[in-house]
Amino acid sequence: MSEEIAVVGSPDFTTGFRLAGVRRFESVPDDEKSKKLDDAITSVLEDEGVGIVVMHDEDFEYLSRTVRQRVETSVEPVVVTLGGGAGSGNLREQIKRAIGIDLMDE
C-alpha cells in the first residue's frame, strides 16, 4: 500500500510541507506552471510509493484537460487540494472518493 505524501506546487507552497517532514515534492515556480505543472503532477501520480498528493486548488487552472481529468478521477493516489474559498475542491468528497465511505455521514 502506498503511504507517502507528495506535495506539488510553488516553492512557497511546498516549503511548509517539507519543513513538516514531507520528503516527496515537486516545486514549480509560478512563472513556469503553465509549462511544467503537468509533468510535475504526472510524475507524482505515477510514483507507486505515493498515496496522497497535495496541491493548491488554484493550480488546477494550469493543468491541461487530460491531466486535470486524471487528477479529478485518481483514487490511488488520492489528490487533495488546499486553499481557495467556497469554490475550492471539497475535501469531504475527496476523502469519500478515496476510501469509499462518507466519514461525516450521521
What's the pLDDT tens digit per position in 14-30?
A: 998 899 899 999 999 99
Cβ(52)–Cβ(78) below 8 Å: yes
Distance (Å, whole) CA 100 – CA 106: 15
User: 78-82 and 50-56: which strand pairing?
Assistant: parallel
Q: What is the pTM of this model?
A: 0.77
* pLDDT category of residue 88 using cuts at 50, 70 and 90: very low
Quickly name the fold that domain 4-99 has. Rossmann fold (3.40.50)
Distance (Å, whole) CA 85 – CA 36: 25
Cell 519543513 belongs to residue: 19
The region that residue 84 occupies, defined by phi over 0 for left and psi between -120 and 50 for alpha, beta otherwise, is left
Q: Tell me the three cell numbers of residue 79.
A: 489528490
